[in-house]
Amino acid sequence: MCGITGWVDWTLDLRGQGPVITGMTRTQAPRGPDDEGTWLSRHAAFGHRRLAVIDVEGGRQPMTRNGPGGRPVVITFSGEIYNFRELRAELRSAGWSFGTRSDTEVLLTAYLQWGPDLVTRLNGMYAFAVWDEQARRLLLVRDRLGIKPLYYARVGDGIVFGSEPKALLAHPRLKAEVDLEGLAELLAVPRARTPGHAVYRGMRELKPGCLLVADASGCRESRYWQVEARPHTKDFRTTTAEIRSLLTDIVDRQIVADVPVGTLLSGGIDSSAITAMAAGKFTGKLASYSVSVPAPARPGSDLWRPSPDEPYARLVAERLGIEHSVVEVGTDGLVEDIDRGLRARDLPGWGDLDVSMYHLFRGVRANCTVALSGESADEMFGGYTWQTDERYVRHTSFPWMYGRRQPEVLLREEVRRAIRPEVYEADRYREALAEVPRLEGEDRAGRRQREVFHLGLTRWLGALLDRKDRMSMAVGLEVRVPFADHRLAEYLFNVPADLKTGAGTGSGGTGGGGMEKALLRRACGDLLPDEIVNRPKSAYPASRDPGYVETLKELVIETIDDPNAPLFDLMDRDRVREAVTSGLDALPGPITARTSAIGLSYLLELDRWLSRVRVVA
């Protein structure tokens, strides 16, 4: 994983800027607890915080290798290249030698062999920067689905970059400022990530599947990958077999590490399938982990979470013969650690959903450096209501926004007029639809399902991957997401929705009777107990403790009574008070106790974040 940062300027001499690059690097110390390194030349300064996973002794960064004319080429890299062994063999056959076993050296050598075209050969999760001293050229690259983050900003005649906004904001010429467009991004589309948007003024996030080349003539960002629309003519049985083969290869690649490895096991089909495949191939001691938060008083009363995870997770662990641990998070921890989630994200987030994940990852990190997750299976295989329920699918905006109030309902009128949230949402939705690859001759229903998949892949998934990265990196844990392999995305983008639910039939046999994620259940069903294969989806654990909601409510009321609270530079104090004191049914989201907690925690985080930034009209 790690944290990367750097500063390149074609007109300044940066050799005396060691304190600046060191300061930027150290903001990301939690991402890389094992080592710190910097590298400076006349026009480039790189920093790196290392989480050692592959070749613990030999993989230190920034890493250099002589390029054309004997001038150095340097890399700072976060992530994992899962096909690095195949690439190393190919490079050796081309005449290159290696002094380490690390994937970093393979990546650097691949640049020397193929230049920026190396990106088409990579399988993995990655964000990296390469400075070519001879060409005086900077290359920034981000993986295809955006598993690893990478931000950049222009500073004078140069550019700064980093894994997180906090690294860039540590540069003396960048300020923590947000403009009206940034506010609109936060308040109009809080559950969707607009690719490239970083919220902070002057800052951008490199889009997934894109690279940026910068030299003295300017910066050029270009796309090197996207899914393509193709007909899928395979029946259910053949499709499941091909998915199983693909998943087997993915997990085989992702269990490689020189440090302890575990899995995040909730007892659902997603994490259980990954755990079972990993247990079948992993040669070391594999452990599994889940998280428990305060549950409702009546079991089964939570529609989003009809069954607890622990019995199912333990069933899988016992069947596979691996250890299982449950990380308990109480209401006090969820409240007291709100700021931890905010610091990790650099932006207002998802309240206890962030904090409980932070605690889970901290518990895992006590024993493991790497953990495999079932994240992204819902996006790939169709596990959400908004992918299958026609009310959501037919919604005239992002399908997950059907029936939801957004935070903008509480805005002061002058702020609402300035940021125009409805217009902002509509513009982002049109942009997203324009990106969807089309298949000639496809009917309207098929076209809409393709749109819904692509919206989830490019907008919804980014928010979840960002949350996973920030909470795991806050404790120095590398979380790998096998279901976010780009090859699986390419395949499933073209599989019809009725095959994903098992409702379709083919010459090879029938599907799974219309159950969500039927393809995944059938593809991995032989690895797991029937109770797991047939268990309905149960959402990530979130607190349903009435005491948690009451505590949040008290904290928000204290904020309302604070005449200097920065929240009310944006929000209407009377509307917020009415929403909080009238049963919470005016807070953003569907009207449930769960959404009340999300809305309350969002207000608290927004207030605390606004105290650290300057809003610029």
- Per the CB < 8 A criterion, the answer to whether 355 and 344 are in contact is no
Helix (H) or strand (E) holding 310: helix 310-320
CA neighbor of 76 nearest in space, from 17, 22, 159, 140: 140
Rg of the Cα trace of the chain?
Answer: 24
- Per the CB < 8 A criterion, the answer to whether 65 and 112 are in contact is yes
DSSP for residue 346: S
For residues 129 and 139, give the distance between their C-alpha atoms in angstroms, rounded to a whole number: 5
List, in order, residues 6 or more apart from 481 with CB less than 8 Å away.
Answer: 125, 147, 372, 373, 375, 376, 465, 468
Q: Residue 131 forms beta bridges with which residues?
A: 74, 138
Q: For the residues of 356-384, what is the DSSP string, one character each?
A: HHHHHHHHHHTT-SEEE--TTHHHHHT-S
Sign of CA dihedral 576, 579, 584, 588: negative
For residues 90 and 121, give the distance between their C-alpha atoms in angstroms, rounded to a whole number: 11
Helix (H) and strand (E) counts for the chain? Answer: 25, 21
Which residue matches tokens 């300044």? 12
Which is it for strands 44-50 and 35-40: parallel, antiparallel or unpaired?
A: antiparallel
DSSP for residue 100: S
At residue 156, the 3 state secondary structure works out as coil
**Annotated catalytic residue: which of 2, 210, 368, 524?**
2
Range 262-289 burial, b when 16+ CB lie within 10 A, else e: bbbbbbbbbbbbbbbbbbeebeeebbbb
Q: Could you count the other beta carbons within 10 Å of the beta carbon of residue 554?
A: 13
DSSP for residue 435: T
At residue 206, the 3 state secondary structure works out as coil
Q: First vs last Cα of the chain: how many Å apart? A: 37
- The one-letter code for the residue type at 64 is T
List, in order, residues 6 or more apart from 597 with CB less than 8 Å away.
Answer: 351, 352, 542, 543, 548, 549, 552
For residues 576 and 143, give the distance between their C-alpha atoms in angstroms, rounded to a whole number: 40
Helix (H) or strand (E) holding 161: strand 158-162
Helix (H) or strand (E) holding 455: helix 444-455
Q: Could you count the other beta carbons within 10 Å of the beta carbon of residue 586?
A: 18
2 catalytic? Reply is yes
CA dihedral (120, 125, 129, 130) in degrees, to 10, reads -50
List, in order, residues 6 or more apart from 377 with CB less than 8 Å away.
Answer: 269, 270, 273, 383, 483, 517, 520
For residues 6 and 161, give the distance between their C-alpha atoms in angstroms, rounded to a whole number: 5
Which of the residues are catalytic?
2
